[in-house]
Amino acid sequence: MEQPKPQWFKSSYSASPQNECVECATNVPQMVLVRDSKVSGGPVVSLAHGSWAAFTNAVRAGALHEHRS
């Protein structure tokens, strides 16, 4: 069976002054796909639904902090 074509979307929270956005596709069975919205033909990160849920829950809870070098 062929995988469905990813249906990419941006979060309503992804607008930043630097235009740094990610796009996600959640219509692919058993995974969430993530890519840089500025490089649509570039690399894609594939995550299990449980891993994506853990990540987004940690973001919402403020458990992740930005580190800049």
Read off the pLDDT of each residue in 45-66 and give the average, rounded to a whole number: 90
Task: Give the per-residue pLDDT at 5.
Answer: 92
pLDDT, position 22: 86
Q: Are 67 and 50 in contact (CB under 8 A)?
A: no
Torsion over CA: 65, 10, 33, 69 (sign): negative
Q: What is the pLDDT of residues 6-44, one digit of tens each?
A: 999 987 766 666 667 889 999 999 999 999 888 888 999
Q: What is the pTM of this model?
A: 0.76
CA angle 16, 43, 31 (to 5 degrees): 90
Q: Is the pLDDT of residue 48 over 90?
A: yes
pLDDT score for 32: 96
Report the C-alpha gap between 64 and 55 in whole angstroms: 9
